[in-house]
Amino acid sequence: MKKILITGGGSGIGAATAHKLAASGAAITICGRTAESLDRTVAESKHTGQPIKPVVLDVTDEAQVVGLFGEHRFDAVVCAAGTIKIQNVFDLSLADFEFVLRANLTGTYLVCREAMRQMRTNQVRGNIVNIASLAGIRGMQLRFPGSFAYVASKHAVAGLSEALAIDGQPYGIRVNCISPGRIDTAMSRQFGGIPAIKPEEVAALIETLLDARSTGVLSGANIEVYSHD
């Protein structure tokens, strides 16, 4: 049975991916900063597949991330944790800028690093899928002013994923990235309207990327998903 870790598993793409992969028979561990959101994902998945294990964890805390991988072994990882703060460059504090970078970039780095260390040690030909954003590829300032910290962090996640794929290649570790446009999540809805693309659709794409039988030669890719809204 494939063992998969999903960060940001309490909502949005992370929760949808947990539901999708658990229903397909994988053993899923989800992590996030609040027990309430994780418990909601677990409750929604009951009787639809394998049980989901929740772990309260801050991906920006190195000790917590190292501890998680010390206690659990994983075959695949999905890094879906993320946040956004909207403020123009004149007024955003350094603390808030660094908070966004730590949540979106540093957290992704720490989880990927520990996952790849574990996979190399255990000779696991593992798979990692990171969630960046179309905002990190095409930019979003014209549509959503004040999002520059988010844009910068997601540019970095895309670049990080490509570089990690190179480091993982000698050990059979694949790293790919998905950069969605607006997805129907609470984060996107704060900008108004209801985005057409649902988290479940991105979850299906993640499932395909994790399937070595169909995408076994794919690594270092950044797949752009346009919402056209």
pLDDT at residue 183, rounded to an integer: 75
Quick one: pLDDT band at residue 145, thresholds 50, 70, 90?
confident
User: Which helix (H) or strand (E) element contains residue 109?
Assistant: helix 107-121
Domain boundaries, the chain: 3-225
Lowest mean pLDDT among 50-54, 64-68, 189-193: 189-193
pLDDT at residue 137, rounded to an integer: 81
Quick one: pLDDT band at residue 86, thresholds 50, 70, 90?
confident
Percent of the chain with pLDDT over 90: 74
Q: Are 72 and 122 in contact (CB under 8 A)?
A: no
In this predicted structure, the answer to whether residue 99 has a pLDDT above a threshold of 70 is yes
Q: What phi-psi label fits residue 228: left (phi over 0), alpha (psi between -120 and 50 degrees) or beta?
A: left
Angle of helix 94-101 versus helix 148-168 axis, rounded to 10: 30
pLDDT, mean of residues 114-137: 94
Tell me how many degrees the CA angle 59-46-115 measures, rounded to the nearest 5: 25
Q: How far apart are CA 211 and CA 30, in angstroms?
A: 19
Percent of the chain with pLDDT over 70: 90
Quick one: pLDDT band at residue 48, thresholds 50, 70, 90?
low
The mean pLDDT of the chain is 90
Which of residues 146 and 222 earns the better pLDDT score? 222
**CATH 3.40.50.720: does it fit domain 3-225?**
yes
In this predicted structure, the answer to whether residue 12 has a pLDDT above a threshold of 70 is yes
Quick one: pLDDT band at residue 140, thresholds 50, 70, 90?
low
In this predicted structure, the answer to whether residue 162 has a pLDDT above a threshold of 90 is yes
Active-site positions read 150
pLDDT at residue 165, rounded to an integer: 98
Query: What is the residue type of 31?
Result: C
Quick one: pLDDT band at residue 102, thresholds 50, 70, 90?
very high
pLDDT, mean of residues 199-221: 94
In this predicted structure, the answer to whether residue 62 has a pLDDT above a threshold of 90 is yes
In this predicted structure, the answer to whether residue 78 has a pLDDT above a threshold of 90 is yes
Quick one: pLDDT band at residue 146, thresholds 50, 70, 90?
confident
